[in-house]
Amino acid sequence: MAGKYQRGKQQAKAPKARKVELTHTVADFEAAFWPDEQPVDNAVVMTMGALHEGHASLIRAARKQVGHDGRVAVTVFVNPLQFGAGEDLDRYPRTLAEDVKLAEANGADVVFAPSMEEVYPNGEPQVRLSAGPMGEGFEGTSRPGHFDGVLTVVAKLLHITDPDFAFFGEKDAQQLAIVRRMVADLDFDVEVIGVPTLREEDGLAMSSRNRYLSETERTQALALSRALFAGRDAAAKGPKAVREAAAAVLDGADGVTLDYLALIDPDAFTEAPDDFQGEAVLAVAAKVGSTRLIDNVHLICR
Q: Which residues bind ligand PAF (CB under 6 A)?
A: 46-48, 79, 82, 150, 153-154, 172, 175
Minimum distance from residue 206 beta carbon to ligand PAF (Å): 13
Distance CA 188, CA 58 (A): 21
Minimum distance from residue 31 beta carbon to ligand PAF (Å): 23
Distance CA 224, CA 15 (A): 39
Minimum distance from residue 103 beta carbon to ligand PAF (Å): 14
List the beta strands (DSSP E) in the chain: 21-23, 42-47, 71-76, 110-112, 165-169, 191-195, 256-265, 270-271, 278-288, 291-301
Minimum distance from residue 95 beta carbon to ligand PAF (Å): 14
Q: Residue 191, annotated ligand binder?
A: no
Give the residues across from 298 on adjacent strands.
281
Q: Residue 67, annotated ligand binder?
A: no
- Output 131 or 223, the one with its CB closest to ligand PAF: 131
CB-CB contact of 235 with 301 (8 Å): yes
Residues tagged active-site: 55
Give every CB contact of residue 88 below 8 A, 6+ residues apart in sequence. Answer: 209
Give the residues across from 265 on adjacent strands.
270
Phi, psi for 87 (deg, rounded to 5) = -85, 180
- Output 82 or 220, the one with its CB closest to ligand PAF: 82
Give every CB contact of residue 267 below 8 A, 6+ residues apart in sequence. Answer: 177
Minimum distance from residue 104 beta carbon to ligand PAF (Å): 19
Rounded to whole angstroms, what are the CA distances from 48 to 150, 158, 242, 300? 11, 15, 33, 31
Q: Residue 176, annotated ligand binder?
A: no
- Output 46 or 253, the one with its CB closest to ligand PAF: 46
Phi, psi for 282 (deg, rounded to 5) = -95, 115
| Helix (H) or strand (E) run with residue 180 in it | helix 173-185
Minimum distance from residue 294 beta carbon to ligand PAF (Å): 11
Q: Residue 134, annotated ligand binder?
A: no
Q: Residue 85, annotated ligand binder?
A: no
- Output 47 or 225, the one with its CB closest to ligand PAF: 47
3-state secondary structure of 9: helix
Q: Residue 207, annotated ligand binder?
A: yes
SS in 3 state form for 47-104?
ECCCCCHHHHHHHHHHHHHHCCCCEEEEEECCCHHHCCCCCCCCCCCCCHHHHHHHHH
- Output 167 or 276, the one with its CB closest to ligand PAF: 167
Q: Residue 70, annotated ligand binder?
A: no
- Output 42 or 82, the one with its CB closest to ligand PAF: 82
Known binding-site positions for (R)-pantoate: 82, 175
Known binding-site positions: 48-55, 82, 169-172, 175, 198, 206-209
